[in-house]
Amino acid sequence: MARDLWKAGATLVLFAMVLLVPAVAHADDQGRDYCPARPGLGTPACTMAPGQVSVETSLGDWTLDKQGGDRTDTVLIGDTSVRIGLTDTIEAQVGWTPLGIVRERTGGTVNRATRTGDATLGIKANLRNPDGSGLSVAVQPFMTLPVGRAPIGAGDWGAGVVVPITYDLSKIVNLELTPEVDAAVDQDGRSRHLAYSGVVGVGFALNDAVTFTLEDQLVRDEDPSGATTQDFVSASLAWMPRKTLQLDVGAVAGLDRHAPDVELYAGIARRF
């Protein structure tokens, strides 16, 4: 009963924050270029200007994970993050996965599950250059609320902090570093454990509208069921046909036996 009340309360908080979006959005761009948080594995250090709202959605995300003779396909649809500029250097963040489909094949047995995912609440505070220019640094604490159901939802609350760092080598080349430390939910969904990761990437502005990014990520997960280290490499392409609209595609490949084999996704981001 308490768990159901917790989920209901968290869901109400999430929808209340989403309903606030139209109230704070306006057309003034404060002279700051649009800086979406997607695509890619890393996180940009820039924040939304006061009163600006960014809605960033994965139109489709497919992950394939083969372990021995077993195969798991995971599809996420509509995975969305809303970023709201509160001050010149601080933004609020709300995220939710409305639909996830998991298909597991073990031997000759196939199991399917369709679930909603968990919600994420966060704050990003920029410490230097909130527009992301030059050397830009931010701190981003967050918390996940268990409003979803396994295997898409984690089953319990989690928390973490990200420290995005970006640096412009030139007008064309941008370096990124994204360390992260989490209190991640155990695989059985009953408690939490330490997990930490780091992303190193380089972005290339091919022209005024198109950016190509290459990244590598290492993830260490100290789950009680068995600690793992995963290595990923990613390539993504973002196209901004208008100053307030971005379309993107990306691919992620696992480089070791613990990492999922491949992930493909496409998404859209819009500033209001």
* pLDDT reported for residue 6: 42
Under a CB-based contact definition with an 8 Å cutoff, are residues 125 and 142 in contact?
no
Extents of the domains making up the chain: 2-271
* pLDDT reported for residue 30: 52
CA distance 51 to 37: 17
Under a CB-based contact definition with an 8 Å cutoff, are residues 115 and 102 in contact?
yes
Residue 198's SS3 state is strand
CA distance 175 to 197: 17
* pLDDT reported for residue 9: 42
DSSP letter string, 68-79: TTEEEEEEEE-E
Per-residue pLDDT 10s for the chain (272 aa) are 334 434 444 443 444 444 444 444 444 445 789 999 999 999 999 999 999 999 999 999 999 999 888 999 999 999 999 999 999 999 999 999 999 999 999 888 999 999 999 999 999 999 999 999 999 999 999 999 999 988 999 989 999 999 999 999 999 999 999 999 999 999 888 899 999 999 999 999 999 999 999 999 999 999 999 999 999 999 999 999 999 999 999 999 999 999 999 999 999 999 99
DSSP 8-state class, residue 6: H
Q: Which CATH class is domain 2-271?
A: mainly beta
- 226 φ/ψ angles, rounded to the nearest 5 degrees: 150, 120
Q: Is 5 left (phi over 0), alpha (psi -120 to 50) or beta?
A: alpha
